[in-house]
Structure 1
Amino acid sequence: MYRGKLYIAMADEHKDVQFSFKKVFKEIRVKHELNVFKDCHQLMAYLMETKVVPHLVFLDVNMPERSVLQCIKEIRAVKKLQNLVIAIYNTLSNNDDEENTFIAGANIYIKKPASFTAFKKIMEEVLSLSWLYTTDGFNRDNFILSY
């Protein structure tokens, strides 16, 4: 887990999901800054302008306007963002989504559980493993997380 402040961004149009992420990070009690965007367009505008690149970005697999695959590819095409850890999440498991997001350059695929307790446990694991994704890059063995 990061020792300093963890910079996180997420793109999801649903307010209830945004609230869940805010709540889980507050409960984990990690020093963080969470920037929330409704879609990839807003996220990319922020990522291009910011001086502090986030450590971690969460993307909903069902993004409006641009597909999650297009968003991942846009992020990976920018030199300053190439080491950004990209976590994809979805409430439904879909082997095609898992495979396609891995190939596009995502580091983590989270099968988001219905229970908040299980979601919190997964997020704790993501935070404790996120350094691994920046040092080891893409790895199928630790790509999918679920409870």
Structure 2
Amino acid sequence: MMIKSNKSIYLADDDADDCMLFEDALREVCDTTELTMANDGVELLDLMETTVPPPPDVIFLDLNMPRKNGFECLEQIRATLKWKDIPVVIFSTSGQEDMIRKVHDQGANYFIRKPGSFPKLKQAIRQILDIDWSTHSWVPVTDNLRYHY
């Protein structure tokens, strides 16, 4: 089932294959969503400097990137007045509990461990696009485990 949405999504990830898979999955879930990609944290923050406002509806942020990692980006996003309320979804291959707590404490809105299959990736994107961020509370998802804080 395709979602009808005119949302704007930013994706910061240095893995070209992950970016291509994400874009393909997004197009199958919702072909009207605008996707803007950055290859690392420096590129994401430069992009945000020149394009926000208007803010994206959500930022998917990988943690392990060169030049400026996801933790540094998240910290800067939350410290910048015009960006601080943009929902940030941490989208990482790592699912260590201490790291998940750290991004939660830094102000991430959601955590998803990168799914190991294309159907699960589509399901994860669909789930994120369906969230009403004004009422959403923190739920990190790592495989089938959910951590509530």
* TM-score interval for Structure 1 and Structure 2 normalised by the shorter chain: 0.7 to 0.9
Q: CA deviation at 1:86?
A: 0.3
Deviation at 1:128, TM superposition (A): 0.7
Partner of 1:66: 68
User: Matched residues, percent identical?
Assistant: 26
Q: What TM-score results when the alignment is normalised by the length of structure 2?
A: 0.86
Write the mapping of 1:18-37 to structure 2, written as runs, cut at 5 A.
18-37=19-38
Q: Tell me, what secondary structure is at the counterpart of 2:68?
A: coil
Which stretch has the larger CA shift, 88-97 or 114-123? 88-97
1:82 aligns to 2:84 (yes or no): yes
Give 1:52 shift.
Answer: 2.3
SS class of match (2:130): helix
Distance 1:81 1:110, change over 3 A: same
Q: Does 1:91 align with 2:88?
A: no
Separation in 2 of the partners of 1:87 and 1:30? Answer: 20
Task: Determine if contact 2:100/2:111 at 8 Å carries over to the other structure.
Answer: yes
What is the alpha-carbon root mean square deviation over aligned residues? Answer: 1.8
What's the offset of the Cα at 1:23?
Answer: 0.3
Unaligned runs of 5+ in 1: none
After TM superposition, the runs of 4+ consecutive aligned structure 1 residues lying more than 2 A away are 142-147
Going by fraction, where is helix more abundant, 1 or 2? 1
The structure, 1 or 2, with the larger RCO (C-alpha pairs under 8 Å, 6+ apart) is 1
For 1:3 and 1:28, locate their aligned partners in 2 and report how far apart those are by CA, in whole Å.
Answer: 9
Count of paired positions: 141
2:135 alignment partner in structure 1: 136
Correspondence 1:10 to 2:21:
no
Deviation of the 1:67 alpha carbon: 2.7
Cα distance change of structure 1 residues 52 and 42 upon mapping to structure 2, 3 Å threshold? same
Judge conservation of contact 2:9–2:36 (CA < 8 Å) in 1: yes
Kept after mapping to 1: 8 A contact 2:22/2:121 = no
After superposition, residues 81-120 of structure 1 pair within 5 angstroms as 81-120=83-122
Cα separation, 2, equivalents of 1:65 and 1:96: 23
CA–CA distance in structure 2, aligned partners of residues 67 and 83 of structure 1: 20
TM-score under structure 1 length normalisation? 0.87
1:5 deviates by: 1.2
How far 1:30 sits from its partner (Å)? 4.3
- Which residue identity does 2:58 align to in structure 1? L
Between the aligned partners of 2:100 and 2:38, the Cα distance in structure 1 is 23
